[in-house]
Amino acid sequence: MGRRFLAVCALALCLGGTATAAVLHIAADPLEPQEWWLAKVGADPAAAPPPGVPITIVDSGTDPTHPEFAERPDTTFLNTQTTSGTREFHGTFVASVAAAPENGIGMVGVYPTAALQLFDASPVAGPPSAAAAGVDAASQHCPGVINLSFGGTSPDPQLDDAILTAVHNGCLVVASAGNDGNVGSPITYPASYPHVFTVAATDENDAVASTSTSSPATDVAAPGVDITGAVPLDHNPAGYEKGSGTSFSAPIVSAAAAWVWTLRPTLTVTQIAAVLREGARDIGPPGFDNASGWGIVNIPASLTAPAPPPDPGEPNDDISQVKPGQLFELGEPPLTTTTKPNGRIAATLDAAEDPRDVYRIWVPAHKIVRVAVTAGGRAAARIWGPQTVSVTSESNAERRRDLRGQSIHALKKGFAAYVEVLLTGRSTDASYVLTVKAAKR
């Protein structure tokens, strides 16, 4: 009869500080009773919204012949899928955890009715160009959620640029934290890149898994121990296995993010990340910690969490992200222009997620431009000259040429310059107001 849920009691459950009516229902898919993680994140698949904000899985291929995907509605294979290589069961598993349909077969995903897109970047964590191509393909469908359940200890500039482009286009990029908690938690990519939403793993007792990589980049946690998922039939004729790792925590969060964003479609990418953090159910030490971030993702609480003001212009961490003709064709609009010599903007910084903001400004002929930041001492501003290539990697000689402090002077001809806003070290985050003013002296 499909899923039929019975509202037979009004017992209140406290999920991340939000009271939610308990609902009993009969599982339609036979493995659903084993899916302990659904209740942990406040997911009732029977109450999932219709397709909305898409989830894109960039991973090894997803088996299109598997019963969970062969006739699944709202499913788009963005390229040819293969599942025959070593560990190429991974993509099918990840996709099923996020969005296996409610079809009376096997299991059900966190968001079973989601619009699902699949990109085969085999092998998992393989050629960087494949993963970057997948992120680029997903970036054509923003707003959306892009799931990256892979990682390594070597940074990849090509993948980093693809992620920045996705965020610029309005997509949330979710990545697994890594499974090196028992070997010192080395820095892992893409999880540690700024603007990536990073997910740790927990067990059935809400403890962080010992293998889950701990990092200041962690945003939230989600179940990642003894997770049931679909696998290609040529990998296991049964079609399902159990697995553990942050690879399977990430799609739970990706599904939660798409669910919340579908029901809160006016949120920006920075705001959806913020309400997921705000709604998380805290575990371990109060507040943020490197192991679990802000806590276990919680769909009901994130649906009602207050959204902060938008953080404009992201990503804008360096010159290449704001100057036209570089990473983004149009760059970012300048804060001041020839016709608007003064400007003001409010934004935020975070040491792990958004360490600095860079803005283009115009310095009018015969004028001095000065900058000031109001942030309670948590942030400061400085001006860089027109020849600046990067605020993070210039040589000492280039810095002496380009770094101008809090004012800059144009003579007979005006020019473009840059303002950098950065943390002072007094806090790991800051809300600030930047003011730019031009005067004759």
* Assigned superfamily of 4-304: Peptidase S8/S53 domain (3.40.50.200)
Per residue in 323-366, pLDDT (tens digit) is: 999 999 999 999 999 999 999 999 999 999 999 999 999 999 99
Largest CA distance in the chain: 79
pLDDT at 15 over 50: no
| pLDDT, position 56 | 98
CA–CA separation, 271 vs 417, rounded Å? 29
Q: What is the pLDDT of residue 126?
A: 59
| Rg of the Cα atoms in the chain | 23
Catalytically active residues, by annotation: 59, 90, 247
Provide DSSP, 226-290.
SEEEE--TTT-TT-EEEE-SHHHHHHHHHHHHHHHHHHSTT--HHHHHHHHHHHSB--SSSS-BT
pTM summary value: 0.92
Domain 319-439 has CATH 3.30.300: no
Q: Are strands 172-176 and 145-148 parallel, antiparallel or unpaired?
A: parallel
User: Which residues lie below 8 Å from residue 205, measured CB to CB, with a gap of 6+?
Assistant: none
Q: What is the pLDDT of residue 293?
A: 98
First to last CA, the chain: 78
Q: Which helix (H) or strand (E) holds 248?
A: helix 246-263
Give the confidence band of 86 by pLDDT, cuts at 50, 70, 90: confident
pLDDT at 18: 36
Measured distance CA(96)–CA(55) in Å, rounded:
12
pLDDT score, position 127: 62
pLDDT category of residue 16 using cuts at 50, 70 and 90: very low
Name the percent of the chain lying above pLDDT 70. Answer: 93
Alpha carbon distance 115, 142 (integer Å): 12
Distance CA 415, CA 412 (A): 10
**Average pLDDT, integer, range 220-232:** 98
Q: Residue 133 — very low, low, confident or very high, per pLDDT cuts 50/70/90?
A: very high
pLDDT band at 87 (very low <50, low <70, confident <90, very high): confident
For 227-259, b where at least 16 C-beta lie within 10 A, e where not — what string? Answer: bbbbbbeebeeebbeebbbbbbbbbbbbbbbbb
Assign 284 a pLDDT band (cuts: 50, 70, 90).
Answer: confident
CB 274 within 8 Å of CB 308: yes
Please state, rounded to an integer, the average pLDDT across all residues of the chain: 93
* Residue 9 confidence (pLDDT): 25
Cβ neighbours, 10 Å, residue 6? 9
In the chain, domain spans: 4-304, 319-439
Query: In the predicted model, is pLDDT for residue 11 greater than 80?
Result: no
For the ranges 1-10, 198-207, 285-294, which has the lowest average pLDDT? 1-10
Helix (H, G, I), strand (E, B) or coil at 353: coil
Q: Tell me what the mean pLDDT of segment 186-198 comes to.
A: 97
Q: Is the dihedral of CA 105, 106, 109, 115 positive or negative?
A: negative
Closest CA to 26 of 1, 59, 52: 1
Q: What is the pLDDT of residue 183?
A: 97
For residue 130, give the DSSP letter. H
pLDDT over threshold 50, residue 20: no
Residues 15-35: what's their mean pLDDT?
A: 62
Which segments of 10-156 does DSSP mark as H helices, in order?
37-40, 90-99, 128-138
Q: What is the pLDDT of residues 213-224, one digit of tens each?
A: 999 999 999 999
What's the rounded mean pLDDT across residues 110-130?
86
How do residues 39-63 score in pLDDT, each as one tens digit? 999 999 999 999 999 999 999 999 9
Cβ pair 343, 361 in contact under 8 A: yes
Cα 350 from Cα 59, distance rounded (Å): 29
pLDDT at 302: 98
Residue 27, pLDDT score: 65
The pLDDT of residue 28 is 79
Q: Are strands 75-77 and 116-120 parallel, antiparallel or unpaired?
A: parallel
Looking at residue 84, what is its pLDDT?
86
Indicate if the pLDDT at residue 24 is higher than 90: no
Dihedral sign computed on CA atoms, order 102, 105, 109, 110: positive
What percentage of residues in the chain have a pLDDT greater than 90? Answer: 90
CA dist 27 and 348 (Å) reads: 44
